[in-house]
């Protein structure tokens, strides 16, 4: 089995910049995207990736989602980088154009590996953890705050068959950052979800950059509570604590590890002007992954009998923002503090 043709399905800020890394490495890559203006800009002007120390311009080949049905060739490897809630239809979309030995990697937040396995089967599905900080506000232009030498990925198969090819896929993904292969990718995905539950949605509720949110000690404590609850649910579900981002676990207690994991994200992958992906979605008028992050913690907590008051508060406020009942604004901190005063 060999990988010759690659697709990146979902080429927003992270997907496009990673695809550009593959193209620069000389790989045969097709970018598949749902934003028409972005597809047109990439094909007309190429893709520009702005990083802290350099800007790179790459000529790429991009198609729109509707053009997948026109493809006459198949792909050997597909990286899916759509929103977690879009994983199932994305897997169905790409399924007819997969080669017989194809592998599909869910390079996303949340536990999208479940949807991949349901649609494609565990033997052709891989889970992945992504830690790459990027923004996109205009078509054809990515602002990548963590260049390849600072980006990190975890990777692992969902069965013995798919996992036997993890290193083969990792060699390709290493063009975009450091890659660690996991025997237990589900636990690694949970570790990333613990980190995400603490900061992605919580800071977005205040409509401020992540650094501004954590600057308030009471808000930071609330974020830590979200992380602790998420890890408690993770452990109750049967997953375990594993090191991610190169962060050593040692013999830390779960609550200590949850807080230290948040600290590691803030130290290595956050910058003074970083807007979380949730806040970027809201400012663009889009739905965010709230049900795939804090919502998953809450639903699994209910199933397992684990209390999740902080995540429930985060989910409620975020749901009200998405429904138009509430605005994302600093004033929401007052309601969060009411939660803190009651615990």
Query: Could you list the residue range(s) of the whole structural domain that residue 76 is in?
Result: 5-183
Out of 149, 183, 217, pick the residue that ends a domain.
183
Q: Which two tokens stand for residue 143?
A: 């602002």
Dihedral angle over CA of 180, 256, 211, 339, nearest 10: 130
Separation between Cα atoms, residue 218 and residue 203, nearest integer Å: 12
Domain count, the chain: 2
Instruction: Give tens-digit pLDDT for 126-168.
Output: 999 999 989 999 999 999 999 999 999 999 999 999 999 999 9
pTM beyond 0.85? yes
71 and 214, same domain (yes or no): no
* DSSP single-letter state for residue 111: T
pLDDT for 9 equals 98
Measured between its terminal Cα atoms, the distance across the chain in Å is: 56
The backbone torsions φ and ψ at residue 175, rounded to the nearest 5 degrees and listed phi first, read: -70, -20
Instruction: Give tens-digit pLDDT for 207-244.
Output: 999 999 999 999 999 999 999 999 999 999 999 999 88
Position 119 pLDDT exceeds 80 = yes
198 and 335, same domain (yes or no): yes
Position 342 pLDDT exceeds 60 = no
> At 117, is the pLDDT very low, low, confident or very high (cuts 50, 70, 90)?
very high
Closest CA to 64 of 101, 32, 103, 28: 32
249 and 297, same domain (yes or no): yes
Position 286 pLDDT exceeds 80 = yes
CA angle 132, 46, 102 (to 5 degrees): 60
**CATH number for the domain harbouring residue 121:** 3.40.50.720
**CATH number for the domain harbouring residue 235:** 1.10.1040.10
261 and 311, same domain (yes or no): yes
114 and 193, same domain (yes or no): no
Average pLDDT over residues 75-82: 98
103 and 28, same domain (yes or no): yes
138 and 207, same domain (yes or no): no
Side-chain-side CA neighbours of 78 within 13 Å: the count stands at 29
């Amino acid at each position: 089995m060999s990988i010759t043709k690659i697709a990146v399905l979902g080429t927003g800020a992270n997907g496009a910049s990673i695809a550009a890394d593959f193209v620069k490495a000389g790989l045969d890559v097709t970018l598949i995207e749902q934003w028409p203006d972005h597809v047109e800009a990439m094909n007309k002007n190429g893709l520009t990736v702005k990083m802290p120390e350099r800007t790179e311009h790459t000529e790429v080949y991009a198609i729109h989602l509707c053009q997948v049905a026109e493809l006459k060739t198949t792909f050997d490897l597909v990286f899916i980088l759509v929103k977690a809630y879009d994983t199932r239809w994305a897997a169905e979309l790409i399924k007819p154009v997969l080669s017989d030995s194809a592998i599909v990697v869910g390079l996303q937040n949340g536990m999208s590996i479940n949807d991949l396995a349901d649609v494609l089967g565990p033997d052709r599905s891989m889970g992945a953890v992504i830690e790459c900080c990027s923004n996109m506000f205009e078509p054809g232009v990515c602002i990548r705050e963590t260049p390849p030498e600072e980006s990190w990925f975890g990777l692992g198969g969902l069965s013995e068959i798919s996992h036997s090819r993890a290193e083969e896929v990792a060699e390709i993904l290493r063009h975009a950052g450091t890659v660690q292969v996991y025997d237990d990718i589900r636990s690694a995905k949970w570790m990333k979800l613990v980190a995400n539950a603490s900061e992605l949605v919580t800071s977005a509720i205040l409509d401020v950059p992540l650094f501004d949110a954590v600057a308030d000690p009471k808000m930071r404590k609330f974020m830590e509570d979200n992380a602790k609850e998420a890890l408690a649910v993770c452990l109750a579900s049967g997953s375990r604590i594993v090191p991610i981002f190169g962060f050593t676990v040692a013999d830390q207690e779960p609550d200590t590890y949850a807080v230290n994991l948040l600290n590691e994200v803030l130290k290595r992958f956050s910058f003074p002007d970083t807007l979380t992906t949730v806040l970027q979605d809201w400012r663009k008028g889009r739905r965010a992954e709230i049900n795939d992050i804090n919502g998953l913690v809450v639903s699994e907590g209910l199933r397992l009998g684990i209390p999740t008051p902080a995540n429930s508060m985060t989910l409620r406020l975020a749901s009200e923002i998405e429904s138009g009942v509430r605005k994302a604004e600093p004033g929401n901190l007052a309601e969060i503090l009411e939660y803190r005063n009651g615990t």
